[in-house]
Amino acid sequence: MPFPPVSIIVLTQDEETNIAACLESVAGCGDVHVVDSGSTDNTVEIARRHGASVHHHPFHSFGDQRNWAIDNIRTVHPWQFHLDADERLTGELISEITSELAKEPGCGGYFVPSKLMLGDRWLRYAGDYPTYQVRLLHRERVRFVDYGHGQREQTTYALGRLEQPYLHHAFSKGLENWFVKHARYARQEAENIVQPGEAGTANRGLGELLFSADPVVRRRAMKSLSYSLPLRYVARLFYMLVCKRAFLDGSAGIAYAQMMAAYEAMIDVFLTVRRANLNL
C-alpha cells in the first residue's frame, strides 16, 4: 500500500540512538523533515542518510518548535504527522491514515493514541492506554500552545480521533536520562501550576470538565484536580498499582509506577521551593 499524502515532521536533539528506527518506520513517505535543535552527535548525519531533509531551529519549547515547523517548512502535503525521535509509526496506523484522508476531511486534525513501551514491553495498564495527542494535523488549521513540559492543540476546527496507535519508546536512552529529563519537566509543571491557565477552558468549571463526554478533556481535568491533593506521589503510586492495575504489566509496570510516583514527588519539591521563594 502506498504511503498516504502526509508529510512527516520529526523533532530531534542528540537522537542518534533513536532517529534511524524512527525514520525507518516512515520509509514509504517521500517528504520527511527533521527539525534539529543543535545535536552534537550523529543525529543529523543519520537523518540525511535516511533521506530526510534537515532543518535547524533552536529549541525553546515543544509548542514553539512544532509551530516553527508548521510555519517555515514548505511540506509537499498540507497534512502533517508530527513525531518525536523516540516514536514509531506502525503499518496499521499508516493504513488508517490513508483511509481517513481519502475522505477529504474538513477537520483540523486527529487525536492519535500511543503505546508506551519499556524496552520491548507494552505498558498497557501502567501507561494509562489510551492517551491521545494531536499528531496528525492540517498545517493551515492547527497551532500549538505550550502547557507544562509539552504542548496542547489550538484550533477552531473540529478534531477527529484515530484508533490505531503509534509506538513511544520513552526509555530508549536509559533510566538515568529519563530521570534527568523529568526533573526538568517537573520544574515546568510546577511553574504551570503556580501560574495556571489554558486556552479553551477558562470559561468552563472543573466539574463540567470532569464529566465531559470527551476522554481527553476528562483526563486533563483529573490532572488539574490532582494538584490540590496532599502526598500526591503516594496517591499516584496507589492509583497506578491498584486502580490502573499496573501490576498486570509485570515488573515493567511496577517499575514505571514507581518512576511516575517519583516524578510527582519532584513536582511537589519544585512547588514547595517556588511557593517559598527560595530561588533555587
Q: Which domains does the chain have, with CATH numbers?
A: 7-168 (3.90.550.10), 175-275 (no CATH)
Q: What percent of the chain is predicted at pLDDT more than 70? A: 88
Phi, psi values for residue 219, rounded to 5°: -65, -40
pLDDT greater than 90 at residue 232 = no
Is the pLDDT at 159 greater than 60? The verdict is: yes
Q: Cis (ω within 30 of 0) for the bond into 215? A: no
**Mean pLDDT estimate for the chain:** 90
pLDDT computed for residue 211 by the predictor: 67
Question: Distance between CA 119 and CA 252 in Å, rounded?
Answer: 9
Residue 65, pLDDT score? 96
Q: How far is CA 247 from CA 89, 124, 125, 251, in A?
A: 27, 10, 8, 7
Of all residues in the chain, the percent with pLDDT exceeding 90 is 74
Say what angle helices 251-275 and 175-194 make with each other, to 10 degrees.
40
Q: What grid cell was written down for 150?
A: 509539552
Q: For the chain, what is the largest distance between any 2 Cα atoms, rounded to a whole number of angstroms?
A: 58
Which amino acid is it at 199? A
Report the alpha-carbon distance of residue 142 to residue 129 in Å, rounded: 25
pLDDT tens for each residue of 102-138: 999 999 999 999 999 998 999 999 998 999 999 999 9
Q: Specify the residue for cell string 550523529.
A: 42
What 76-79 contacts at long range (C-beta under 8 Å, 24+ apart), as own/partner pairs, is 76/7, 76/30, 76/31, 77/5, 77/6, 77/7, 77/31, 78/138, 78/139, 78/140, 79/4, 79/5, 79/6, 79/7, 79/136, 79/137, 79/138, 79/139
- With 0.85 as the threshold, say if the pTM is over it: no
> Taking the CB of residue 248, how many other CB atoms lie within 10 A of it?
10
State the pLDDT at residue 201: 43
pLDDT digits (tens, 9 = 90+) for 176-222: 999 999 999 999 888 877 775 544 444 456 566 666 777 666 766 66
13-63 pLDDT, tens digit each: 999 999 999 999 999 999 999 999 999 999 999 999 999 999 999 999 999
H or E, element range at 28: none
Pairing mode, strands 131-138 and 79-84: antiparallel
139 closest CA partner among 179, 82, 195: 82
Q: What is the pLDDT of residue 188?
A: 86
